[in-house]
Structure 1
Amino acid sequence: MKKTIITLSIALLTLSSCSDFIEEDNRSSAETSEYLKSSGYESLINANYAELKDIYGGEPWLFVSGTDLYAEGRSTEPIGISQYTQLTSSSPNVDYLYKECYKAIQRANTALHFGELTEKTATLSARIGEVKYLRANAYFLLVQTYGGVSLDTQYHDSPVLSFDRNSAEEIYTFIVKELEESLNLVPAGAFTGRVTKRAVQDLLAKVYLTRAYETFGAATDFATAAKYADDAIAGQALTIKYSDLWLPANDINAEVIFSAQFSAGSNSSNPQTTGNGQASYFSSYLGGSEVAGKAPYRSYNLLPTDFAIGLFEKGDTRWDGTFMTQTYTRYYDYYDVANKTGLAVTHFYVPKWMTPAELDAYKLANPKTNIHLYGTYGAGKGLNSDYQTIPVRKFDDPKAPFATSSTTPRTSTRDFVISRLADTYLIAAEAYLRTNPATGLIRLNEVRKRAGVANATAGEFNIDYILDERAREMIGEYNRWFDLKRTGKLIERASLHNFNIKAANFDGANGEKKILRPIPQEALDLNQSKNFPQNPAYN
């Protein structure tokens, strides 16, 4: 299904302008209903996959800001989400996942409803399993972000304006049930664009691991998470070079378990707003419209902190695989020019392990290069010049249209990787930490082995080491806030390593901490139910 996911342009699947959260705007017709029962059903399934593009392709804030790895640059972050002091139910961007995930849930509910009415084909059971995975994924994002939300599994052919709030425990129970049903329906095999058993096993591992930390988690959750992670790993070793994982032409490789699909064709209707925005962040500004075609647009935000940069050691291949450690006059020459011998280096970011003698030799060989000394190119270190902070290059797309501003950053046609093998190894390591540390250490060291660094020791193996390893492996991938929230390390690590955050920033109402995000105020205002309280820290 690679590059074929499309948005189903029928009014039945759009949301009402009076509520972006739960209910649908029912402008359907009998013809539409008949279409979905027959030849249109596959388009409806594709529309469910297309929702991933809006969940992951747009705003990054709820996924990664306000953590230990990324901090504000020259552009302004949504201060409530990123610094917590002004976090309220009406804060900008706090509603992003609430909106996008409920859109996905209602599309899934529609697909499951018409799945009972459509022609029984050889692929129908698999399609039902795929949709159940997608619905479970949306609920998992919601429950991690906001806690208990409304559990709605019904197709609505008329507006519904009253929903009660379910507990987080009920949401987790539903997610597990949904994924176990999906696991029995989807096929095995390599990922080619659709949900496979491996993707379901990977998500089940993450769900069980996250629930294990909750007060209502089962005593067996860590062990179950480890089992599902191992099932997803299926004995596969990490054999692809780290830098090759992120080559622009290598979006679907043997280590990708699941991803959201983008393409130039599917983004052609509005290439400035419908593509993948991931490449626009995690870097200093590289120039304005004058460099179109020579360098990508960068938002100058979510910059790697000094802590994130300092996690790497000499010999770790993820250093060069993650960062553009030296740039050329034309930024994209890194990708487009095979022999770079004659290219002029414009900027060089000195790693912490470079000796004074090595640096002197580099300067002698590159006399016109702008040298950025270690300790000077992290977030907060003077942000007035282009290339001031080190660029994250993992998500570069040399073929993308040039984004013209921070309000239209979604130009990349590259896929968004939602889960991949090294992530699963580290999920297994974390789960085994609580059940079988020796096995957990083996899983973690598989990741380090591919990176070319020494094995971690049993004495080093703890939750902080795992979080550090996840940082080295996954900078810029949309999981850091969830990692810190899951492990109970959000306040500690964000206040220790993010210069904009103090522990007191998390103090909320009623003696509660701002760990969960608030239920968006618009959702509360539109919901006529009285049984839908706000999260305690925001009352």
Structure 2
Amino acid sequence: MKNILFGLAILSITLFSCDDYLEEDNLSNVTAESFYNTAEGFETLVNANYAQLKDIYGGDAWLFAAGTDLYAEGRDQEPPGLSQYTQLTPSSQGVGQLYSTCYKAIQSANMAIYYSDLTEQTSDLSKRIGEVKYLRANAYFLLVQTYGGVGLVTDYIDSPVLTFDRNSAEEVYAFIISELEQSLSLVDGSSYNGRVNKRAVQHLLAKVHLTRAYESFAASDDFSKAASYADDAINGQALSIPFEELWRPGNEMNAETIFSVQFSEAANSTNPTGLGSKQHYYFSSYLGGSEVAGDAPYRSYTLCPTAFAVGLFEEGDERWEGTFMTEVFNRYYDYFDVDDHSGLTVAEYYAPKWASSDADLAAYAAANPEATIHPYGEYVPSQNRNFDYETIPVKKFDDPKAPFSSNRSSTRDLILSRLADTYLIAAEAYLQSSPATALQRLNAVRERANATPATAADLDIDYILDERARELLGEYHRWFDLKRTGKLVERASMYHYLINEGNFAGANGELKILRPIPQDAIDLNQNKDFPQNPAYN
């Protein structure tokens, strides 16, 4: 067992309300030891583990999306280390975000598992242990993908540990899989209601095996197990919800959602700009200042879709309109608030590549004389972007109820796993052993989108990555997808306008693929033999 230093978080004790959202509860009048030994107390401790997801995923999106082929800065600068790699150091902005939040989640999980041996025995206890094991495995999976081998700790520690070592990535993956296998045997198979169920575990097991399959220490059956677990999670369910409806605000708990981070207006009421998610804030240009508050979202002008991302869509693919706000009305939110759009005035129009001839643009201008027309190829990130609406807005994550703020103000659930992703995991896993089956899984996703079915000649890892881009744009998977498949350097260099292959050159002839262990963790460690990732030594 290796110990690791991490801050002992003051846990926000939470309860599930009747609508499945996490709500706060004041426990200041009881001691933790006595309270957690009760059924009610242990339940709040488990729910506190779910609340940790809000901090892991609710803040800035840099570690999930920056520095890839799909997103780049427009007018406002992203953290240069994470977005361009040349300035990536152990002290770079944003490097420690997953390190700190995941270890807080791990400490919370260790605490719950510790008290599971002491608390009152109930019929739900084993399920709750399974849920916590999933959440702990998920935190370690984020860590090992991002930083490589990290310190494994499974004991509840009630005081700081000042000396710690690193486990190998191989050991961390083995632990994650063991945790998830135990979780699968404990959680129930009920429909998703905000808690971990068997399907969520199967989906994550598929992704973990798929990711390990590319590593030098892969097991010989990792690809086949990934395919099998993905098929178990799919369980014969077709992709039947139209893509546009899938992302309608308020429809996050639809039949294709497998696991999500739960938010609510009630839970955020004490701090409306600090307890929600920032996902709605990215993936678009600036859409106006305080003068339009309530009429349009406040956007970052960073992580804007690249020319490559925009160019991946073909005519007829319903994900084009389902992903992007291609027509912005005078009041942006009228798209959601007004059922009949026929009488609304278009203020901004982003022409697709299949409707960008001079004749097409002239016809659109004649029909919409007040619209500013953005021709295809002219609304993607560049260093010359200085005005509003100059990059195409991603609308998937829009939250008309969010306060006008750059902070964590969205109360829409943040989707971590959904059925189309499971199909694409299966496609990638089957690519190694059964290309025909891989093609079937991939085409199930394309058929729902009304896209032309792919052919056997199309199918390779690049096509699968392109399909993941079309289906999952903005959904916090992309950096991990490119890192997993060994395509990060190639694709970021090819399609991100601020990156070339030389940006990845690190120390000791190593490439900056893994992120560095945060410098403050190195400095606080009394074990001075703790190794930094070699590209940063």
**TM-score normalized with structure 1 length:** 0.94
Instruction: Work out the CA distance in 2 between the residues paired with 1:30 and 1:447.
Output: 51
Which residue in the other structure is 2:32 paired with?
32
Q: CA deviation at 1:395?
A: 0.4
Which residue in the other structure is 1:414 paired with?
412
What SS does the aligned partner of 1:182 have? Answer: helix
Which residue in the other structure is 1:241 paired with?
242
Q: Which amino acid aligns with 2:52?
A: E
Say yes or no: does 1:524 pair with 2:512.
Answer: no
What SS does the aligned partner of 2:417 have? Answer: strand
Q: 1:160-171, aligned counterparts within 5 Å?
A: 160-171=161-172
Instruction: Work out the CA distance in 2 between the residues paired with 1:295 and 1:10.
Output: 39
Q: CA deviation at 1:3?
A: 4.0
Measured against aligned partners, the alpha-carbon deviations of 1:164-215 in whole angstroms (never above 9, x if no partner) come to 1000000000000000000000000211100000000000000000000000
Instruction: Work out the CA distance in 1 between the residues paired with 2:256 and 2:141.
Output: 23
Q: Which amino acid aligns with 1:489?
A: K
Which residue in the other structure is 1:499 paired with?
497
Q: CA deviation at 1:8?
A: 6.6
What SS does the aligned partner of 2:328 have? Answer: strand
Q: 1:162-311, aligned counterparts within 5 Å?
A: 162-311=163-312
CA contact (8 A) 1:3 1:262 kept: no
Say yes or no: does 1:4 pair with 2:5.
Answer: no
Instruction: Work out the CA distance in 2 between the residues paired with 1:193 and 1:375.
Output: 40
What SS does the aligned partner of 1:371 have? Answer: strand
Measured against aligned partners, the alpha-carbon deviations of 1:112-152 in whole angstroms (never above 9, x if no partner) come to 00011000101100000000000000000000000000000
Q: CA deviation at 1:358?
A: 3.0
Which residue in the other structure is 1:460 paired with?
458
Which residue in the other structure is 1:361 paired with?
363
Q: CA deviation at 1:10?
A: 6.6
Q: Which amino acid aligns with 2:283?
A: F
Q: CA deviation at 1:381?
A: 6.7
Say yes or no: does 1:78 pair with 2:95.
Answer: no
Q: 1:475-486, aligned counterparts within 5 Å?
A: 475-486=473-484
What SS does the aligned partner of 2:349 have? Answer: strand
CA contact (8 A) 1:7 1:46 kept: no
CA contact (8 A) 1:233 1:424 kept: yes
What SS does the aligned partner of 2:238 have? Answer: coil
Q: Which amino acid aligns with 2:470?
A: R
CA contact (8 A) 2:113 2:129 kept: yes
CA contact (8 A) 1:6 1:46 kept: no
Instruction: Work out the CA distance in 1 between the residues paired with 2:31 and 2:368.
Output: 68
Q: Which amino acid aligns with 1:4?
A: Y
Q: 1:423-462, aligned counterparts within 5 Å?
A: 423-462=421-460
Instruction: Work out the CA distance in 2 between the residues paired with 1:330 and 1:508.
Output: 47
CA contact (8 A) 2:288 2:296 kept: yes
Query: Following TM superposition, where does structure 1 have runs of at least 4 consecutive aligned residues deviating by more than 6 angstroms?
Result: 8-11
* Structure 1: unaligned runs, 5 residues or longer: 12-28
What SS does the aligned partner of 1:150 have? Answer: coil
CA contact (8 A) 1:6 1:43 kept: no
Measured against aligned partners, the alpha-carbon deviations of 1:23-71 in whole angstroms (never above 9, x if no partner) come to xxxxxx9822111111311111111000011111111000000000000
Measured against aligned partners, the alpha-carbon deviations of 1:477-497 in whole angstroms (never above 9, x if no partner) come to 101000000000000000000
Which residue in the other structure is 1:400 paired with?
402
What SS does the aligned partner of 1:259 have? Answer: strand
CA contact (8 A) 2:105 2:139 kept: yes
CA contact (8 A) 1:7 1:50 kept: no
Instruction: Work out the CA distance in 1 between the residues paired with 2:119 and 2:387.
Output: 58
Which residue in the other structure is 2:351 paired with?
350
Instruction: Work out the CA distance in 2 between the residues paired with 1:337 and 1:344.
Output: 12
Q: CA deviation at 1:527?
A: 1.5
Measured against aligned partners, the alpha-carbon deviations of 1:206-237 in whole angstroms (never above 9, x if no partner) come to 00000000000011100000000000000100
What SS does the aligned partner of 2:140 have? Answer: helix
Q: Which amino acid aligns with 1:322?
A: T
Instruction: Work out the CA distance in 1 between the residues paired with 2:531 and 2:27.
Output: 34
Measured against aligned partners, the alpha-carbon deviations of 1:276-335 in whole angstroms (never above 9, x if no partner) come to 110000001000111111001101110000000000000000000000000011000000
Measured against aligned partners, the alpha-carbon deviations of 1:228-285 in whole angstroms (never above 9, x if no partner) come to 0000000100000001010002010000000000001111121112111100000010
Identity %: 64
Q: CA deviation at 1:532?
A: 2.0
* Structure 2: unaligned runs, 5 residues or longer: 1-15
What SS does the aligned partner of 2:267 have? Answer: coil
Instruction: Work out the CA distance in 2 between the residues paired with 1:524 and 1:262.
Output: 34
What SS does the aligned partner of 2:23 have? Answer: coil
Which residue in the other structure is 1:371 paired with?
373
CA contact (8 A) 2:20 2:193 kept: no
Measured against aligned partners, the alpha-carbon deviations of 1:424-446 in whole angstroms (never above 9, x if no partner) come to 00000000001111100100000
**TM-score normalized with structure 2 length:** 0.95
Q: Which amino acid aligns with 1:180?
A: E
Instruction: Work out the CA distance in 2 between the residues paired with 1:10 and 1:380.
Output: 51
Deviates further, 37-46 or 491-500: 37-46
Instruction: Work out the CA distance in 2 between the residues paired with 1:266 and 1:110.
Output: 23
Which residue in the other structure is 2:9 paired with?
none
Which residue in the other structure is 2:486 paired with?
488
Q: Which amino acid aligns with 1:426?
A: L
Q: Which amino acid aligns with 1:392?
A: V
Calculate the aligned-residue CA RMSD, in Å.
Answer: 1.3
CA contact (8 A) 2:189 2:198 kept: yes
What SS does the aligned partner of 1:391 have? Answer: coil
What SS does the aligned partner of 1:135 have? Answer: helix
Q: CA deviation at 1:531?
A: 4.3
CA contact (8 A) 1:263 1:414 kept: yes
Which residue in the other structure is 1:320 paired with?
321
Q: Which amino acid aligns with 2:394?
A: V
Q: Which amino acid aligns with 1:395?
A: F
Q: Which amino acid aligns with 2:22?
A: I
Instruction: Work out the CA distance in 2 between the residues paired with 1:377 and 1:215.
Output: 41
CA contact (8 A) 1:316 1:451 kept: yes
Instruction: Work out the CA distance in 2 between the residues paired with 1:486 and 1:301.
Output: 24
How many residues are paired up?
518
